[in-house]
């Protein structure tokens, strides 16, 4: 009998391959122009992302490399988020590349693209090892990017801190994956799900302590990536030290990558071991506890921050907590809510960070107090910042409200559906209560910008690409606030695909 | 045309706000003019709604039901009955008056101010029109942000504290409402297999008693914070006192009404059994609010905070009337919502006018204004009397019916509440006496200018309304009556069914009201007035 090689279907991987090549092109272009490429290299990188999006849209759904690589709506949905986040991060970087990293523009933009390639691989991988490789490809360029200001102690510190934490979390994840492999004898996620279920039946529902170990280590690994307390300590320092657009990219792109990894391993692979009733095997309540910790700690700590990047770091920890509610509500609404939340979060958070970048370029400071009176001198940017922050706080009719609504609705639907799930009400309760805290610190920035007695000494002049990013963010937040239908429809189908 | 008039009334101010974005900041008078015209046209549109409204028909009118977010069953469902009709007209009138009143007092950030006012108008009218719970929630929240800016940017010395307190209080309430809303949504789904937030559809559903208790509590808390019912009133004095005149007028005139409107539109018809169960608590809190608000008003040194605390007392009356759960009480309450909007709005306007002249609101700084500003004093007198509830003014009509309803429901409630009327007369007249009568003690008051034509223009419509409602309220009651009957039918149905179960509280309630209703008490109440 002749072994049959699985069809490769390279076509499925075209967007990733293209972006990989394009990243090299970007770096080479900068070298060939003897580091004099100016903003052109940035525009080149943005162009690449747009083309990649175009290729993605014509690639279609399918599988490649056996079962390892899959292009289903879930993957495409998250790939759009990754491309969008990278596009917006690059767009808001021009001020920094013009002043601070004049000689390494090519690497800077190229590494962002490479990291995006990693995220896209991750979203498509249906197998634990390629998933792990995707995650590594995502984070390793980010280590470099976080420490990109070589002369800045804080930046270098954040780079090293991020690298150590990243390496530790990857090791934990890999450790957990090895347990799973040991239990199921396969790294294919779907096969693993079946094998684990069979093993569980054979052992009369008791797989034993190894599965608990696997669950806990994997959760810790992903918890680090998502900065869920108690694995969050690196986030504020890294966000504060790294270049602001990179902090934005970390908080959206890399977070979305962590979410995909979570969806793939937990919601798909370990689906059988989600159990609302406290049993040693289940991960549902464990994630619920992480979500509560994230919402409480993120929101409470954010209140006390005077540096806006640290504040946004804690707020993004809290946002990850809200997303986790959707994960715990493992029903038809849950994953849809997660998808929609992440999508909307991209617009609002990237937009907010873009404005923070503009302010930092102009004033050289990230203190919230340096926003005082900005509404008088830069009314448009202040209004945009207010819109982004209010969307993050979840005020209707902005898109962030619908995101929160869907997440809570998913949890309430699950809580009401059977008795074992009623503890989800606590999750919703904590979520709502902490939203009030969130509103307080977001409103605090708006207050500083709007209610100051004196006009600000600065008049913000954003570069054109930064303006483009802010405009995209505004459009996203406003349009998906009034007509969330389009994305909701798309997101609603996600659970179907993850289950099949 | 008819079914498009509501969205037009709702969104016309917002379109105006977009238009204002195009006007450069420097042309302050153009901005004021555009904003005035927009709000005036909105007012005319709301008059058109009033004109076309059929007073005899029961149920919702001008209904518009469009799919909005079809996949989750959210509809753009609008419609009004008599209660919402009057509140909409009140809102549009007060918006025009507020914009007129800020002509001179708002000089910084004119553009932002008027945009906020117009967006606020959209939110307020939207709340009164929404028949989809989700839509209701959206409009409810939309108002929050413009009000935050109005208090925070154009407010008094402690504006930032007041603005943030206002937002956080409201947000806590509305988040609870959101949870309750989502719960009802899934409850409705499990009963009917359909996803819908439609208020009218949900109204036909029988919510289980235990769930009703929780849901009522969540909604009631959101609304009680807005009303504000004692002990959730602490944001109100801060917000009212620190807000600019226009902000205070809108806050007192319209935003507070949204709380009571929420009770009558959502809480009562959706959770009739829970309404009866919570009845004694809410009545007692209302009575505490009446007495407490009045007593605290009496010791205020600042006219504006006096008016603010008097709102707590007046809104206590409205709540008591609503939860008397009989035709007189509820009709009186709805009328009193309008009256309070008119007269307290007017009081804030008047306080704003003397504040513009003297830059103080302390009662002690005034005295003898009758000689210096005769026109002002006359207007102030009329509004004060209407706020007290003198016969022939609007306040009398509302309070009389509320007390009538309260006596029918429970004599003790009626008697205690009636004492609030006396207290109101005390603090209002005492304040009026100290401000207006006597000799001019403060030299600075001697050369105050009397009201300008613009200010008279603001006050005349209010005086007309005061006497119109006071003397001939029939057209208003005609429109309220069918709507109130609808709500009460629902409640009475619940009362009967719970009486069958031998639920003691409700049964006692009915016995009491039967006893009392046989006694003719009208004259007794009049004497109290």
What residue of A is the nearest CA neighbor of B181? A409
Pick from A332, A391, A395 the residue to mutate for testing the B interface (most B CBs within 10 Å): A395
Amino acid A201: pLDDT: 77
What residue of A is the nearest CA neighbor of B189? A413
Domain range for A474 is 283-500
Overall number of domains in chain A: 1
Amino acid B491: pLDDT: 82
- Residue A360 has φ and ψ, to the nearest 5°, of -65, -40
Is residue B67 less than 8 Å (CB to CB) from chain A? no
Q: What is the mean pLDDT of residues B170-181?
A: 86
Identity of the residue in B149, B167, B186 whose CB atom sits nearest the CB atom of A413: B186
Does pLDDT of B356 surpass 80? Answer: yes
- Alpha carbons B105 and B112: distance in angstroms, whole number: 14
Does pLDDT of A486 surpass 70? Answer: yes
ipTM of the complex: 0.80
Does pLDDT of A205 surpass 70? Answer: no
Do B158 and B238 meet the contact criterion of CB atoms below 8 Å apart? yes
Amino acid B164: pLDDT: 86
Interior/surface letters B315-328, b for 16+ CB within 10 angstroms, e for the rest: bbbbbbbbbbbbbb
And the tokens for A172? 């934990």
The reply to whether residue A408 touches residue B141, judged by beta carbons under 8 angstroms, is: no
Q: What is the mean pLDDT of residues A438-446?
A: 89
Amino acid A139: pLDDT: 92
Identity of the residue in A436, A451, A488 whose CB atom sits nearest the CB atom of B72: A488
Q: How close B112 gets to chain A, by Cα (Å)?
A: 10
Is residue B362 less than 8 Å (CB to CB) from chain A? no
Do A428 and A344 meet the contact criterion of CB atoms below 8 Å apart? no
- Alpha carbons B44 and B97: distance in angstroms, whole number: 14
**What integer best gives the mean pLDDT of chain B?**
85
Does pLDDT of B242 surpass 90? Answer: no
Chain A positions touching B158 (Cβ under 8 A) are none
Strand partners, A71: A62
Q: Is B231 exposed, middle or buried (CB count within 10 Å of its CB: 0-12, 13-18, 19+)?
A: exposed
Q: For residues B93 and B502, which has the higher predicted lDDT (pLDDT)?
A: B93
Identity of the residue in A416, A447, A492 whose CB atom sits nearest the CB atom of B152: A447
Identity of the residue in A412, A450, A489 whose CB atom sits nearest the CB atom of B152: A450
Q: What is the mean pLDDT of residues B405-424?
A: 88
Q: How close B141 gets to chain A, by Cα (Å)?
A: 6
Tokens 């391993």 identify what position? A265
Within-domain flag for A2: no
**Could you report the per-residue pLDDT of A238-256, keeping only the tens digit for each?**
999 999 999 999 999 999 9
Amino acid A275: pLDDT: 62
The reply to whether residue A412 touches residue B168, judged by beta carbons under 8 angstroms, is: no
Does pLDDT of B506 surpass 70? Answer: no
pLDDT classification of A214: cutoffs 50, 70, 90: confident
Strand partners, B198: B132
The reply to whether residue A396 touches residue B142, judged by beta carbons under 8 angstroms, is: yes
pLDDT classification of B529: cutoffs 50, 70, 90: very low
Do B405 and B329 meet the contact criterion of CB atoms below 8 Å apart? yes
Chain A positions touching B190 (Cβ under 8 A) are 416
Question: What are the Cα distances from residue A389, in Å, to A386, A466, B274, B390?
Answer: 5, 17, 38, 49
And the tokens for A173? 């994840």
* Window from A125-134, A218-227, A419-428 with minimum mean pLDDT: A419-428
The reply to whether residue A485 touches residue B142, judged by beta carbons under 8 angstroms, is: no
CA B403 centroid distance within chain: 19
Does pLDDT of A388 surpass 80? Answer: yes
Pick from B183, B235, B247 the residue to mutate for testing the A interface (most A CBs within 10 Å): B183
Q: How close A27 gets to chain B, by Cα (Å)?
A: 43
Within-domain flag for A92: no
The reply to whether residue B153 touches residue A450, judged by beta carbons under 8 angstroms, is: yes
What residue of B is the nearest CA neighbor of A393? B171
Does pLDDT of A276 surpass 60? Answer: no
- Alpha carbons A438 and A300: distance in angstroms, whole number: 8
A→B interface, C-beta within 8 Å:
375, 379, 390, 395-397, 401, 405, 408-409, 412-413, 416, 428-429, 432-433, 435-436, 439-440, 443-444, 447, 450-451, 483-485, 488-489, 492
Within-domain flag for A335: yes
The reply to whether residue A435 touches residue B71, judged by beta carbons under 8 angstroms, is: no
pLDDT classification of A48: cutoffs 50, 70, 90: very high
Amino acid A52: pLDDT: 94
Do B82 and B477 meet the contact criterion of CB atoms below 8 Å apart? no
Q: Is B211 exposed, middle or buried (CB count within 10 Å of its CB: 0-12, 13-18, 19+)?
A: middle
Amino acid B186: pLDDT: 84
- Alpha carbons B84 and A23: distance in angstroms, whole number: 60
Within-domain flag for A463: yes
Within-domain flag for A133: no
The reply to whether residue B182 touches residue A485, judged by beta carbons under 8 angstroms, is: no
The reply to whether residue B182 touches residue A408, judged by beta carbons under 8 angstroms, is: yes
Is residue B217 less than 8 Å (CB to CB) from chain A? no
Chain B positions touching A401 (Cβ under 8 A) are 138, 141
Interior/surface letters A263-282, b for 16+ CB within 10 angstroms, e for the rest: bbbbbbbbeebbebeeeebb
Q: Which one, of A118, A62, A59, A60, lies nearest residue A85 by Cα?
A: A118
**Could you report the per-residue pLDDT of A290-337, keeping only the tens digit for each?**
999 999 999 999 988 899 999 999 999 999 999 999 888 877 778 888
Does pLDDT of B60 surpass 90? Answer: no
Within-domain flag for A304: yes
- Alpha carbons A300 and A437: distance in angstroms, whole number: 7
Amino acid B527: pLDDT: 44
Q: Which of residues 107-126 of B touch A (CB under 8 A)?
A: 112
Within-domain flag for A481: yes
Q: Which residues are CB-neighbours of B115 under 8 A, at least 6 positions away?
A: B17, B20, B21, B146
Chain B positions touching A412 (Cβ under 8 A) are 179, 182-183, 186
Within-domain flag for A455: yes
The reply to whether residue B168 touches residue A436, judged by beta carbons under 8 angstroms, is: yes
DSSP A103-156: GGHHHHHHHHHHHHHHHHHHHHB-BHHHHHHHHHHHHHHHHHHHT--TT-HHHH
Identity of the residue in B141, B149, B179 whose CB atom sits nearest the CB atom of A432: B179
pLDDT classification of B518: cutoffs 50, 70, 90: very low
DSSP state of B519: S
Is residue B163 less than 8 Å (CB to CB) from chain A? yes
The reply to whether residue B138 touches residue A397, judged by beta carbons under 8 angstroms, is: yes
Q: For residues A499 and A302, which has the higher predicted lDDT (pLDDT)?
A: A302
SS3 call for A183: helix
Q: For residues B194 and B412, which has the higher predicted lDDT (pLDDT)?
A: B412
Identity of the residue in A409, A447, A488 whose CB atom sits nearest the CB atom of B182: A409
């Amino acid at each position: 009998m002749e072994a049959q090689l699985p069809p490769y279907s390279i076509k499925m991987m075209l967007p990733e391959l293209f972006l990989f090549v394009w990243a090299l092109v970007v770096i080479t272009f900068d070298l060939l122009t003897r580091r004099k490429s100016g903003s052109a290299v940035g525009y080149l990188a943005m162009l690449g992302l747009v083309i990649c999006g175009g290729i993605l849209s014509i690639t279609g759904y399918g599988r490649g490399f056996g079962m390892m690589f899959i292009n289903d709506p879930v993957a495409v949905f998250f790939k759009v988020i990754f491309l969008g986040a990278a596009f917006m991060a690059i767009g808001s970087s021009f001020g920094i590349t013009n002043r601070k990293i004049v000689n390494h523009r090519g690497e800077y933009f190229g590494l962002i693209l490479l990291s995006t390639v990693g995220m896209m691989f991750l979203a498509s991988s249906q197998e634990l090892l390629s998933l792990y490789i995707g995650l590594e490809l995502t984070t390793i360029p980010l280590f470099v990017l976080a420490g990109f200001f070589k002369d800045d102690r804080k930046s270098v510190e954040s780079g090293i801190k991020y690298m150590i934490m990243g390496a530790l979390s990857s090791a934990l994840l890999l450790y957990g994956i090895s347990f799973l492999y040991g239990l199921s004898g396969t790294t294919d996620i779907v096969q693993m799900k079946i094998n684990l279920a069979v093993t569980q039946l054979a052992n009369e529902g008791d797989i034993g302590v190894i599965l608990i170990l696997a669950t806990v280590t994997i959760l810790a690994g992903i918890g680090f990536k998502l900065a869920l307390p108690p694995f969050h300590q690196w986030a504020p320092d890294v966000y504060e030290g790294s270049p602001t657009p990179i902090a934005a990219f970390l908080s959206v792109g890399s977070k979305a990558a962590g979410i995909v990894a979570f969806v793939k391993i937990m919601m798909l692979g370990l689906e059988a071991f989600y159990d609302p009733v406290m049993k040693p095997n289940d991960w549902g309540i464990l994630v619920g506890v992480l979500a509560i910790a994230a919402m409480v700690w993120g929101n409470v700590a954010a209140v006390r921050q005077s540096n806006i990047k640290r504040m946004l770091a804690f707020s993004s920890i809290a946002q990850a907590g809200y997303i986790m509610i959707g994960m715990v509500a493992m029903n038809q609404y849950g994953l849809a809510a997660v998808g929609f939340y992440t999508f909307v979060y991209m617009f609002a958070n990237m937009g907010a960070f873009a404005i923070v970048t503009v302010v930092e370029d102009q004033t050289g400071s990230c203190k919230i107090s340096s926003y005082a009176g900005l509404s008088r001198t830069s009314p448009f940017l202040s209004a945009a910042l207010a819109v982004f922050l209010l969307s993050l706080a979840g005020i209707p009719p902005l898109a962030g409200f619908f995101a929160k609504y869907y997440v809570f609705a998913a949890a309430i639907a699950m809580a009401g559906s059977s008795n074992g799930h009623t503890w989800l009400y606590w999750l919703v309760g904590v979520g709502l209560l902490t939203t009030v805290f969130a509103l307080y610190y977001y409103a605090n920035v708006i207050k500083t910008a709007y209610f100051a007695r004196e006009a600000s000494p600065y008049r913000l002049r954003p570069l054109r690409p930064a303006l483009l990013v802010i405009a995209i963010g505004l459009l996203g937040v406003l349009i998906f606030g009034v007509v969330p239908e389009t994305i909701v429809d798309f997101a609603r189908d996600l659970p179907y695909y993850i289950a099949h | 045309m008819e079914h498009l008039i509501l969205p037009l009334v709702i969104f016309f101010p917002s379109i105006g706000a977009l238009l204002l974005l195009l006007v450069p900041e420097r042309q302050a008078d153009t901005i004021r003019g555009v904003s005035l015209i927009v709000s005036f046209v909105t007012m005319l549109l709301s008059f058109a709604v009033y004109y076309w409204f059929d007073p005899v028909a029961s149920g919702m009118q001008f209904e518009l039901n469009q799919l909005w977010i079809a996949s989750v069953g959210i509809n753009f469902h609008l419609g009004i009955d008599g209660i919402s009709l009057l509140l909409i007209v009140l809102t549009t009138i007060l918006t025009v008056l507020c914009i007129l009143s800020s002509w001179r007092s708002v000089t910084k950030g004119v553009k932002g101010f008027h945009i906020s006012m117009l967006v606020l108008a959209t939110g307020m009218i939207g709340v009164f029109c929404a028949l989809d719970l989700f839509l209701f929630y959206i409009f409810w929240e939309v108002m929050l942000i413009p009000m935050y800016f109005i208090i925070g940017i154009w407010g008094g010395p402690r504006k930032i504290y007041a603005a943030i307190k206002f937002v956080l209080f409201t947000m806590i309430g509305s988040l609870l409402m959101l949870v309750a809303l989502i719960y009802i949504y899934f409850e409705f789904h499990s009963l009917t297999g359909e996803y819908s937030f439609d208020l009218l559809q949900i109204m036909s559903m029988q919510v289980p008693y235990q769930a009703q208790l929780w849901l009522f509590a969540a909604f009631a808390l959101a609304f009680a914070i807005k009303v504000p019912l004692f002990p959730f009133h602490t944001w109100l004095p801060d917000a009212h006192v620190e807000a600019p005149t226009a902000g205070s007028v809108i806050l007192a005139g319209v935003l507070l009404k949204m709380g009571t409107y929420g009770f009558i539109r959502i809480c009562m018809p959706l959770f009739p059994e829970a309404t009866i169960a919570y009845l004694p608590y809410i009545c007692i809190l209302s009575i505490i609010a009446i007495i407490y608000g009045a007593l605290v008003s009496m010791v205020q040194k600042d006219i504006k905070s006096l008016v603010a605390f008097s709102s707590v007392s007046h809104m206590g009356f409205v709540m008591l009337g609503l939860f008397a759960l009989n035709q007189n009480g509820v009709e009186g309450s709805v009328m009193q919502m309008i009256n309070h909007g008119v007269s307290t709005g007017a009081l804030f306007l008047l306080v704003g006018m003397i504040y513009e002249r003297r830059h103080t609101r302390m009662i002690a700084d005034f005295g003898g204004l009758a000689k210096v500003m005769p026109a002002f004093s006359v207007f102030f007198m009329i509004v004060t009397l209407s706020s007290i509830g003198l016969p022939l003014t609007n306040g009398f009509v509302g309070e009389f019916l509320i007390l009538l309803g309260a006596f029918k429901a429970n004599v003790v409630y009626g008697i205690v509440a009636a004492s609030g009327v006396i207290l109101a007369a005390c603090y209002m007249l005492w304040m009026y006496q100290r401000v207006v009568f006597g000799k001019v003690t403060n030299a600075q008051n001697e050369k105050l200018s009397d009201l300008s034509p613009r200010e008279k223009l603001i006050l005349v419509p209010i005086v007309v309304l005061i006497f119109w409602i006071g003397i001939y309220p029939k057209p208003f009651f005609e429109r309220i009556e069918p709507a109130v009957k609808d709500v009460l039918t629902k409640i009475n149905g619940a009362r009967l069914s719970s009486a069958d179960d031998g639920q003691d509280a409700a049964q006692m309630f009915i016995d009491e009201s039967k006893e009392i209703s046989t006694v003719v008490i009208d004259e007794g109440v009049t004497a109290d007035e």
